[in-house]
Structure 1
Amino acid sequence: MTTFTIAPESIGKLRVSEIPYALHSAPESEAMEQASIFEGPTWVYVGIDLEISTPGTFKTTWIGSTPVIVLRDEHGDIRVLVNRCAHKGSILCFSQEGQTKSLSCPYHNWVYDLRGNLKRVAFAKGVNGKGGVPEDFDYAKNGLRSLKVATFSGLIFASFSDNPPDIQTYLGSRVQHHIARTIGRPMKIIGTYRQRMRNNWKLYMENTRDSYHASLLHVFFTTFRLNRLDMAGGMAISENQWNSISYTESVEQFNDEAYSGNRSLQSDIRLADPTLVRQFKEFDDPIVSSITSVFPNLIMQQIGNSLAVRQLIPRGVDECELVWVLLGAQDDTPEQSMARIKQANLVGPAGLVSLEDGIIGNFIQRGIRHPGEHKAVIRMGGDDVASLDSRVTETAVRGFWKAYKDCMGAAA
C-alpha cells in the first residue's frame, strides 16, 4: 500500500479535473475523511423512515467508521444515536434491525432510553454500602451522543455538526424536486440487498455520477435500448455543486450508427422475455432513467420503474459496503408491482446492469495500488462543474471532488 503523498493542507487546492490516485489507496486518508467529511459539516444518509415505521423500531448502520443506531423513540420522533456505551465504549446494539424499549450495554449493563438518556447504572449504590458511583455522578452528562437529524421525502440524514445547513439548502432546489418527484409519496419496501465491494468508497460515488460510462460498460443498457448516449438527457448540478442528477429521456428512434463498431452494442440479440424490461408510465415528464447522487453517500435510482435508494458505507481504505432498499408505491396495482420486481433484476449485486459497477471499482483499485504521483484525468465535458444538457461529461464527478476538497480543505 502506498504512503499518503499529499499534504492535508494541499487538498483544498486540488484541481477537480486531476485527482491523485493516492487519495483512493492511502491509509491516512480514512482518518482524515472521517473527521472532515463524515463528522464534518455534512448531512450523511442513514436510512429511510419506512425501515423504522413504529416507536421502538431501530436499525444499526454506520456514518463513515462510526457505528450508529437509527430509531423511533416512544414519541415517534426519529433519533440517531452513536452506538457506543458512554461507560467503556462497547457497541450496544448488534442486530441490523429490530424493536426494543431500551438500549442496554452487554458489558456492565448500563441502560439507556430511546432518546439516549442514561437511566440505570448497575450497582450504582454499590453493595453493602461500599462502591458504586460517586455522589457527583451526573446521569445527564453520561448519555449516548445524539446527532442532528433531518428528513426529506422519507430519507433520514444525520450530522455530527452542531450547526449543519438546513437540508433543503444542502440538497439544492433541483435535487429536492427530483427526490420528491420520485419517492415523495406513500411508498413501500419491496426488497433489500447488501453488497461488499473491494474498492475505496470514493470510486463507487464517482461511478454513480459518471454518465459517460453507462452505455459503454453496461452492454445490457445499450443492446436493449434502455440507456444510450444518443437519447436525450443531461446532468443537473445543485447550487452548491455537491450533488447531481443524471437523467435520460425517452426517444422514439435510436441511432445505431452512433455505436457503430462499439462492443457495447450487440444489435442481433433479443430478449426471450421482453416483459423483463417492459415499463409503465409513472411520471409526468419524459425521464425514463435517472441517478441522483448526494454527497457523501446517498444514491437514488430510477431505472425504468425500478426505484431504490442506496447507502454507501466505507469499510476501510480499499473496501466499502452498499445497502440497497428497493421501493414501490403503496397504490401500485399487482401488475405494476410485478413490473418493478422484474425490472429489479437489472440492479443489485448480480444485476444485469449493476453487476459491472460492482467490479469496475476493484479493477481501478488493483490498477492504482502503487500510484506514485499519477492522477486521474476527469475532463470529459470540460474542467468546470455545471449543469449540461449532455451526458457525455464528467461534470458531476468533478462536483464530487469539489465537495470533497471543500470539506477536507476547510479542516486543514
Structure 2
Amino acid sequence: MTSAVPTVQWPGPDTSRIPFAVYTDAALHQEELRRFFYQGHWCYVGLEAEVPKPGDFKRTVVGERSVILSRAADGQLHCFENVCAHRGMQFCRKRHGSGVKEFVCPYHQWSYTLSGDLQGVPLRRGVRQDGQVKGGMPADFNPKEHGLTKLKVATRGGVVFASFDHEVEPLEDYLGPTILTYFDRLFNGRELSILGYNRQRIPGNWKLMQE
C-alpha cells in the first residue's frame, strides 16, 4: 500500500537545516497528529484538582480534537470528545464548569451523561400528524450505540492522562522507569491546588510551540 504522506527532501545530511514543508505540509501534519496524539500515546488532559467534585468538568484538547474531562456522580473520571454523535457539533463551549448534571448539544438537544453516554433524544418517536408518525429515529435505534467518543483514562499522583487508543500500553510502561522517577519526585501524592491559568495563543502548529 502506498502512503499518502509526502516524502520531505532534506537539504543536508543532518538536521541543522529543516525543510519548510515539515511545518506547512497539510498531509504530513495530519499523519503526525495520528502518530503523536491519536494512536499509541497517552496525553496530559488535566489535574484531578481541576475536577474535584461530581459534576465538575474541564474542556481541553488532544492534538486538534476538543475533549472534556469530567467527574461523574459516582466520582469516576471520564474523558470524551466534545463532538455530538448526531451532527458533529462541539456542544460544550465553556472551559470549566461545576455542578452540571448532563451535557446537552444546543443544535438538536441530544443529551449525554457525565460519562459520555447518550441519555436523551428529543422527538425520538417522531410526531403524529394527520394520523401518521413523521420524523423520529428508526425503530432499531439503540442509544448505547450513539454515545460520545470516549478516551481511555489513567491517573498518577493527581495527574490525569487520556488516550484515543484503547489498546495503548499502561501509562507506567509508556512513561518508563526513568521518567517515572522524575514524575513521582514532583507529583509525590501531596494535595494540589489550582492557583490560576496562564495561556498563550500562537498562529502555528504544535511543532512551532515545541521549539
TM exceeds 0.5? yes
Name which of 168, 172, 176 aligns with 1:168: 172
Please say if residues 70 and 115 of structure 2, whose CA atoms lie closer than 8 Å, have aligned partners that are also in contact: no
Name which of 144, 148, 153 aligns with 2:148: 144
Q: What's the TM-score, normalizing by structure 1?
A: 0.45
Q: What does residue 162 of structure 2 align with?
A: 158
- Partners of 1:92 and 1:192 lie apart in 2 by 23
Q: What's the TM-score, normalizing by structure 2?
A: 0.85
Structure ID, larger Rg: 1
- Partners of 1:47 and 1:32 lie apart in 2 by 25
Give the counterpart letter for 1:117 in structure 2: D
Pairs within 5 Å for 1:105-144:
105-128=105-128, 129-144=133-148
Please say if residues 6 and 27 of structure 2, whose CA atoms lie closer than 8 Å, have aligned partners that are also in contact: no
Please say if residues 42 and 161 of structure 2, whose CA atoms lie closer than 8 Å, have aligned partners that are also in contact: yes
Q: Once the two structures are aligned, what percentage of the paired residues are identical? A: 36
Q: CA deviation at 1:108?
A: 0.5
Give the counterpart letter for 1:139 in structure 2: P
SS of structure 2 residue aligned to 1:20? coil
Give the counterpart letter for 2:43 in structure 1: V
Name which of 174, 199, 206 aligns with 1:194: 199
Q: CA deviation at 1:94?
A: 0.5
Structure 1: segments with no counterpart, 5+ residues: 208-412
SS of structure 2 residue aligned to 1:191? coil
SS of structure 1 residue aligned to 2:107? coil
SS of structure 2 residue aligned to 1:195? coil
Q: What does residue 89 of structure 1 align with?
A: 88
| 1:20 partnered with 2:18 | yes
- Partners of 2:81 and 2:37 lie apart in 1 by 13
The one-character-per-residue Cα deviations of 1:42-78 (angstroms, maximum 9, x if unpaired) are: 0011111111111110011111111111111111111
Which structure is richer in relative contact order (CA contacts within 8 A, separation 6 or more)?
Answer: 1
Structure 1 residues 123 and 31: alpha-carbon distance in aligned structure 2, compared to 1, 3 A threshold:
same
Q: What does residue 211 of structure 1 align with?
A: none
Q: CA deviation at 1:27?
A: 2.7
The one-character-per-residue Cα deviations of 1:363-392 (angstroms, maximum 9, x if unpaired) are: xxxxxxxxxxxxxxxxxxxxxxxxxxxxxx
Q: What does residue 104 of structure 1 align with?
A: 104
Q: CA deviation at 1:119?
A: 0.8
Q: CA deviation at 1:29?
A: 2.5
Q: CA deviation at 1:178?
A: 1.5
Question: Which ranges of 4 or more aligned residues in structure 1 deviate by more than 6 Å?
Answer: none
- Partners of 1:133 and 1:6 lie apart in 2 by 43
- Number of aligned residue pairs: give it: 198
Q: CA deviation at 1:120?
A: 0.8
Q: CA deviation at 1:17?
A: 4.9
Structure 1 residues 19 and 170: alpha-carbon distance in aligned structure 2, compared to 1, 3 A threshold:
farther
Give the counterpart letter for 2:138 in structure 1: P
Structure 1 residues 6 and 135: alpha-carbon distance in aligned structure 2, compared to 1, 3 A threshold:
closer
